[in-house]
Amino acid sequence: MLHLPQLRVDGDRATARIHLQFHGDWAQAPGGLRLQMQGYYDVAYRRVDGRWLIAHRVTTAFGREQRTVLGYPHAGALPRD
């Protein structure tokens, strides 16, 4: 889910910060994987021949969670000895 961008336009260039939330649920996968992530994209755009193109995008995550559909940590997230 993407939120409304904070957009700044300067001629043929623009920048934006777009907050996001990701929720993925693979109940049929082995272990019933469920992923959640919150963060934002910092995006740089260029206007070329009248079309706005993405020049660069950086994703920053400030919250991630990986569990099974039953609420337990996924086996890949457990510490190994």
Instruction: Provide the residue range defining the domain that includes 65.
Output: 6-71
27-39: per-residue pLDDT in tens? 676 667 778 899 9
Whether residue 14 lies inside any domain: the answer is: yes
Whether residue 77 lies inside any domain: the answer is: no
Output the pLDDT for position 30: 65
Whether residue 79 lies inside any domain: the answer is: no
Instruction: Give long-range contacts, CB 8 A cutoff, 24+ apart: 19-27.
Output: 25/69, 27/69
Whether residue 12 lies inside any domain: the answer is: yes
Whether residue 78 lies inside any domain: the answer is: no
Whether residue 27 lies inside any domain: the answer is: yes
Output the pLDDT for position 18: 96
How many domains, in total, are found in the chain?
A: 1
- CATH assignment of the domain containing 32: 3.10.450.50
Whether residue 58 lies inside any domain: the answer is: yes
Output the pLDDT for position 24: 83
